[in-house]
Amino acid sequence: MRRAPRGTRGAVRAATATLLTCALLTSCAGGGEGDGDETVTLDYYSLAWQKESVAANKKLVARWNKTHGKVKVRYVQGAWDTVHDQLLTSFEGGEAPDIIHDDASDLTDFAYGGYLADLRDYLPEESRAAIPQAGWDSVTMNGGRVYGVPFLQEPKVIIADKKLLERSGVRIPTAGHPWTWQEFERAAKKLTRDKDGNGKPERYGTVWPMKEPVKQSVNLSLSTGGRLFTRERTGDGTKNTVRFTGRDAAISELIHRQVNKDRTAPRSGLGMGGSDTLPGFFAGRYAMVPLNFSFRQQVQQQAPDGFEWTVLPLPRGQREGENAQGVVPQTLSVAQESAHKKAAADFVAYMTTPEHQAALAKGDWLLPTAKEALKDPEINRREDGWRTGARIARTLRPSPTLGVRGYAEWSDKVATPAFQRYYRADTDLDALRDALVDDGNLILDRYQR
Amino acid sequence: MSGTSSLGAPTARTSAPSAGHGRRRTLRLAGRTGQYAGLLCYLVFLAFPLVWLVSTSFKSPQELGRIDPTWLPQHPTLENFRAAFEAQPLARSALNSLIVAGGATLISVALAVPAAYALVRHRSLVSTAANGWVLVSQMFPFVLVIIPLFLVLKNLHLVNSLGGLIIVYVVWNLPFSLWMLQGYVKAVPVSLEEAAAVDGASRPRILRSVVLPLLAPGLVATLMFSFVTAWNEFFFALVLLKSPETQTMSVILTRFLGDEGVADLGPLAAASVLATIPSLLFFALLQRRLASGMLAGAVKG
């Protein structure tokens, strides 16, 4: 009778020991953070998209892992389409990757939500010095905290049909001597062809793919000295308000004019995304298309044989200094919940050295942010418009939308429908202004209370 | 005259029905033709996206950039398939999807069959309440449950595992499967079960030999529904599976989409074509059972 309980006790003890061991093992493995010899494994959530860029990322990670015995990095592939939902649920559930690739516009909510680490204490000095202040401005918010390293960016450029352009006799703009917007309008008129005079041109001088009208309207407004969002310092932080006066509205008015009055841009283009314009561009229906820099890759891939295209810089405003445009750089951040923020920040610094930035930028057909990286010979080569991009890099400024709390709601609920109606000529400029400013500020106030 | 008339009358009488018969036949034929024409239109409507997808998957980037797209690729290429396989771990994600969808389907149907039977045959307050609950559970949107669900699974160490996702899909599919199967169970006459009982069959025997065979079409329909739902599901898979080794096909497909709606169209189409194949095979295999099962039920009923 006495042996059995002892046996049972033994079994219980053995089971407890096993359970404890298992629990210990799972707690070590589950966190993915370290094991006996204190090797740390960090998750790097990457949004690299093009094959070349994924390969460049993986190569850099492999090199890091080879040279860093104690800190290993695991490459985790994410996707642009789902990054926000994926990250939000990861943060809420406490399972966020240590190093996060995203873009600066998506950082605002996460930064104010306390999910991202302030990198000021972790980044080495050479990292800071390598990237111009304009880049840092795009990731600095919430009282001067820095929530990411801006490492890739893309300007808007004008991709043009080279033969049509040369035949039209207009001056070909260069990065050093770009068109003014007036010249652009004149060129568009010259390039538009309406042989039968029925008001429906067979060829339009340009096309405005306005599937996402807000981002474009705001970022382009910088080129005429506008910015739509004002920023003032108050007792409890920065306060943003919307304004939409002369210079802010100049580009929107130009687009409206080209589509509805001059008919140098088709109304059907307003509903298109950038990719949707390409078949028409190749077929000679549009002579010039304002597109993001990385679209060059698609153009190069899809252009029919013998089609010649060229990359022109974005036109500028008429006054001195009006040659900027807003961009939303891609960023690398560190999760606040990461147990190894310093190690993660070291990896971020490693990935964003000028040399590595250049490799990553080439893979995704983008521009790097570091001054040294922009000197890379391949980024400055003539083919596929690389040189134009590299030369206008200094005109890029952080998008005025960055760091504005409530921007996403303003954009979705108010600004998108308002701009769409205005560009389709369903409303006039005053109605657009009322919607953007009056309704818009109500929304922003709610976030900034 | 009377003779003729009496002779003529039967002739007229026989010819009248035959004329009516002919007219009816023509009408029926016209109706049938109309039906088939309608069906054909519907079929084209249903098949168009698939045909377009398949055609796109064989087109080169240059063909995709044409303003006058052709129905069939002019220079068919397998390049998109090669690129898709090279860029993403399609085979592994397909296997993951298969495990998850298969597992979730089998478990949810295995649970739903006895539950549906019990709810239909034993009417009580509980069954009414259960049905009400089933309906209510269908009204929760994904986004409402996702974070709590994530936390629950995390505490159970089931985040990032296919097992966790199977459980979620079972729970998510169960109400509708239950609802669907109840209709089929109701259609099985109780008298058949009683007859079998009179013949001396035990309860399990009745279930096995009488009810289950009659439920076959319902089972097949529910299996298909569960499988396709789980195979296509995206949001739970996106949120619950974080590590690359566990991700399912639907999540992998989004990797062919870039920033601001730019898509790697050719490889995306190629991968999507591959992703539809298992569902198509599953349907092709089970479809015959669906029809024959119905027939078997009709004869016995």
Taking CB atoms and an 8 Å cut-off, how many pairs form between chains A and B? 95
The secondary structure element, H or E, covering residue A149 is strand A149-153
Q: Is the pLDDT of residue B148 over 60?
A: yes
Within a domain: residue B260? yes
- Crossing angle (nearest 10°) for helices A51-67 and A341-351: 130
Token pair for residue A128? Answer: 């800071």
In a domain, B65, yes or no: no
- Residues from chain A that touch B147, judged by Cβ atoms under 8 A, are 89, 92-93
Q: Which of A51, A94, A302 sits opposite B65 (nearest CB)?
A: A302
DSSP secondary structure letter of residue B211 = I
Task: Name the burial class of residue A188, with classes exposed (0-12), middle (13-18) and buried (19+) by CB atoms within 10 angstroms of its CB.
Answer: buried
> CA B272, CA A296: separation in Å to the nearest integer?
25
Q: Across residues B230-242, what is the average pLDDT?
A: 89
Distance CA A68, CA A195 (A): 67
Q: Nearest-CA residue of chain B relative to A55?
A: B87
Distance from CA of A266 to the nearest CA of B (A): 15
Residues of A in contact with B150 (CB under 8 A): 89, 92-93
Average pLDDT for residues B118-134, to the nearest whole number?
Answer: 85
C-beta atoms surrounding A81 within 10 Å: 21
- Are the CB atoms for A173 and A313 separated by under 8 Å? yes
pLDDT confidence of residue A286: 95
Is residue B162 a part of any domain in this protein?
Answer: yes
Q: Are A322 and A225 in contact (CB under 8 A)?
A: yes
pLDDT confidence bin for A1, thresholds 50/70/90: very low
pLDDT higher than 60, residue B57: yes
Task: Summarize the confidence of residues B18-31 as an average pLDDT.
Answer: 84
Q: Which CATH number fits domain A32-153+329-389: 3.40.390.10, 1.10.3720.10, 3.40.190.10, 3.30.420.40?
A: 3.40.190.10
Q: Where in chain A is the domain with CATH 3.40.190.10?
A: 32-153+329-389, 156-327+401-448
Q: Is the pLDDT reported for residue A7 higher than 60?
A: no
Residue B173, pLDDT > 60, answer yes
Total domain count for chain B? Answer: 1
Residue in the structure block whose two tokens are 């943060």: A91
User: Which of B242, B247, B241, B269 has the alpha carbon at shortest distance from B257?
Assistant: B269
Model confidence at A13: pLDDT above 80: no
Token reading at A205: 């001088």
- Whole-angstrom distance, CA of residue B176 vs CA of residue B172: 8
CA of B94 vs chain A CAs: smallest distance (Å): 17
Residue B60 lies in a domain: no
DSSP B56-80: HHT--HHHHT-SS--SS-SS--SHH
In this structure, what are the phi and psi dihedrals at residue A292, rounded to the nearest 5 degrees?
Answer: -70, 150
- Average predicted confidence (pLDDT) for chain B: 84
Q: For residue A116, name the pLDDT band (cuts at 50, 70, 90).
A: very high
Substitution target from A101, A275, A281, A289 for chain B, most B beta carbons within 10 A: A275
Question: What's residue A19's pLDDT?
Answer: 39
Q: Is residue B71 part of a domain?
A: no
* Residue A217 near residue A253, CB atoms below 8 Å: no
- pLDDT of residue A220 exceeding 70, the answer is yes
Q: What is the pLDDT of residue B17?
A: 57
**What span, in angstroms and rounded, lies between the C-alpha atoms of A152 and A136?**
12
One-letter amino acid for residue B113 of the chain: V
Residue B167 inside a domain? The answer is yes
| pLDDT of A171 over the 90 cut | yes
Q: What percent of chain A has pLDDT over 70?
A: 91
Mean pLDDT of A376-393: 94
Contacts 24+ apart (CB under 8 A), B1-7: none
Instruction: For the sheet with A149-153, list strands across it.
Output: A71-77, A40-46, A99-103, A330-334, A149-153, A367-368
pLDDT surpassing 60 at residue B246:
yes
Comparison of pLDDT for A333 and B291, the residue scoring more: A333
| Residue B109 resides in a domain | yes
Q: pLDDT tens digits for A272-294?
A: 999 999 999 999 999 999 999 99
**Contact residues on chain A for B62, CB-CB shorter than 8 A:** 301-305
**Contact state of B255 with A79 under an 8 Å Cβ cutoff:** yes
Q: Residue B27 and residue A260: Cα distance in Å, rounded? A: 55
Q: How confident is the model at residue B145 (pLDDT cuts 50, 70, 90)?
A: confident
Buried b (16+ CB within 10 A) or exposed e, B106-123: ebbbebbbebbbebbeee
Higher-confidence residue of B278 and A204: namely: A204
Confidence tier at B132 by pLDDT (50, 70, 90): confident
The mean pLDDT value of chain A amounts to: 88
**C-alpha angle A270/A274/A279, rounded to 5°?**
95
| Smallest Cα distance from B217 to chain A, Å | 38
- The CATH number for B178's domain is 1.10.3720.10
What pLDDT does A33 receive? 45
| Residues of chain B that touch chain A, judged by Cβ-Cβ distance less than 8 Å | 61-62, 64-68, 83, 86-87, 146-147, 150-151, 154, 157, 159-160, 235, 238-239, 242-244, 251, 254-255, 257-265
Contacts of B17 (CB under 8 A, 6+ apart): none
Q: Which chain A residues are Cβ-neighbours of B255 within 8 angstroms?
A: 49, 77, 79
Provide CB contacts within 8 A for A58, sequence distance 6+. A75
Contact A82 B254 (CB under 8 A): yes
Residue A80 clears pLDDT 60, i.e. is over it: yes
Determine whether the interchain pair A49/B254 forms a contact, defined as Cβ–Cβ distance below 8 Å: no
pLDDT of residue B125: 86
Ramachandran area for residue A425 (φ above 0: left; ψ -120 to 50: alpha; else beta): left
How far apart (Å, rounded) are the C-alpha atoms in residues B70 and B59? Answer: 10
pLDDT at site B291: 61
pLDDT at residue B12 in the model:
45
How far apart are the C-alpha atoms of B221 and A302, rounded to whole Å? 44
CA distance B32 to A312: 62
User: In terms of residue numbers, what domain contains B113?
Assistant: 90-300
Q: What is the pLDDT of residue A236?
A: 65
d(CA A393, CA A153): 9
Considering the entire predicted model, what is its pTM? 0.82
For A203, residues 6+ apart whose C-beta sits below 8 A from its C-beta are A164, A191, A192, A193, A284, A285, A286, A287
Q: Which residues contact A126 (CB under 8 A, 6 or more apart)?
A: A349
CATH number for domain A156-327+401-448, candidates 3.40.190.10, 3.10.310.10, 1.20.1250.20, 3.50.50.60: 3.40.190.10
- pLDDT tens profile A401-442: 998 889 999 999 999 999 999 999 999 999 999 999 999 999
The minimum CA-CA distance between A264 and chain B, rounded to whole Å, is 20
Q: How far apart are alpha carbons A383 and A390 in whole angstroms?
A: 12
Instruction: Give the distance from residue A242's alpha carbon to the nearest chain B alpha carbon, in angstroms.
Output: 24
